[in-house]
Amino acid sequence: MGRKRRNANTGSNSSRAGSIPGGSAGADRGASRGGGSVAGPVAGRYVTSTGEVELRPDPYVADGWEVFVNGVPSSHISADPLRLEYEYMRWIAAGCEAVIDSRLDASRLRVTHLGGGACSLARYFAARYPSARQTVVEVDAELARLVREWFDLPLAPRLKIRVGDARAVADGFRPGSRDVVIRDVFVGAVTPRPVTTMEFLAAVRRGLGPSGLYVANCGDHADLRLARSELRTMATVFARVGVIADPPMLKGRRYGNIVLLASDGGLPVAGDGVSAQLTKRLLAGAVPAQYRDDAWTRAFMAAGGRVRYDDPGVGLCHEL
């Protein structure tokens, strides 16, 4: 994933079930700011059913830790929960806050994260919105257990970690039960297709309240085919769509992250105050980024985007 000081654009969150830890053991125990106790992070490699999870101290950030899943950067945790090292996570936070602070009731916020990793974003939002109730869906049960052991994550009901498949959980959303849904699900550097289709998005929309927000981290190549197709699919389900990315990515010059947004309740519009504040915040980042509104995004996705559907015959997806 995009990272300040280092190029780590293929990082992502785990999306497979875990098993037995195989790394170092033993660490100083300490009190957690989340209300419980944690053993503390221990550098090492821990076996999972898909390979391994590796925990490394960050040589650039004091008390910072990086989580690698099968060799791919997945998450970063700093001592300060409001410090996000991966640029795409900063963009997600900026986009979410622009909508939350202008259109949603922050005192009763309900957030679901599809794809958990080390819960960096959930930890951030718990600090930013202390009264929020969050659920992290992580299919790797062992990783979910380890991050609770390693890091000072808030306890339920502020932050619940639910072990499960992102698509299956989304299909079971109760109507209007969430305000924000964030998708950051990867197998290696690829988002599983079942969480990119119209049927998946229809389930997400059903689960959101009237002004709810859907945000997706999309890793794409220079042709931007996936981003355009995801956006076009989102636009068949939601009334408004938008994009956050750095200019080289939007111009198709490299592989990287594009943050996709969708809502029925409205998104910032070019020229309004919320858009101006969001743009100022994004441009001030270590990797300056841009917010593009619904009108721009629809023109962007029309240049090659194709709607994605589930294929009921084989459980995969096809494009039209």
262-305 tens-digit pLDDT: 999 999 999 999 999 999 999 999 999 999 999 999 999 999 89
pLDDT at residue number 37: 60
Residue among 304, 274, 277, 275 at smallest CA distance from 292: 275
Tokens representing 303? Answer: 């240049």
Neighbour tally for 311: CB within 10 Å: 13
Using the predicted structure, report yes or no on whether residue 62 has a pLDDT greater than 80. yes
Q: Which of 17-26, 31-40, 195-204 has the lowest mean pLDDT?
A: 17-26
Greatest C-alpha distance within the chain: 55
> What's the CA gap between 186 and 277, in Å, rounded?
30
Residue among 72, 98, 73, 103 at smallest CA distance from 87: 73
Average the pLDDT over 122-141 and give the result: 96
pLDDT at residue number 9: 32
Find out whether 114 and 185 touch, Cβ atoms under 8 Å: yes
258 versus 23: the higher-pLDDT residue is 258
Using a pLDDT cut of 70, give the percent of the chain over it. Answer: 85
Contacts of 156 (CB under 8 A, 6+ apart): none
Grouping H, G, I as helix, E, B as strand and the rest as coil, residue 214 is strand
Instruction: Name the band, by pLDDT with cuts 50, 70 and 90, for residue 24.
Output: very low
Tokens representing 121? Answer: 């974003």
pLDDT at residue number 315: 44
**CA dihedral for 163, 168, 173, 179, sign (positive or negative):** positive
Average the pLDDT over 135-154 and give the result: 93
Reported pTM:
0.88
Using the predicted structure, report yes or no on whether residue 34 has a pLDDT greater than 70. no
Phi and psi dihedrals of 282, rounded to 5?
Answer: -65, -40
pLDDT at residue number 311: 79
Using the predicted structure, report yes or no on whether residue 188 has a pLDDT greater than 90. no
Using the predicted structure, report yes or no on whether residue 48 has a pLDDT greater than 80. no
pLDDT at residue number 312: 65
Instruction: Give the mean pLDDT of the chain.
Output: 87
Using the predicted structure, report yes or no on whether residue 53 has a pLDDT greater than 50. yes
Residue among 113, 96, 184 at smallest CA distance from 153: 113
Find out whether 80 and 123 touch, Cβ atoms under 8 Å: no
Tokens representing 119? Answer: 């819960």
Q: What is the dihedral of CA 141, 142, 148, 151, to 10 degrees?
A: -130
Find out whether 216 and 230 touch, Cβ atoms under 8 Å: yes
Instruction: Name the band, by pLDDT with cuts 50, 70 and 90, for residue 313.
Output: low
Using the predicted structure, report yes or no on whether residue 26 has a pLDDT greater than 80. no
> What's the CA gap between 244 and 189, in Å, rounded?
19
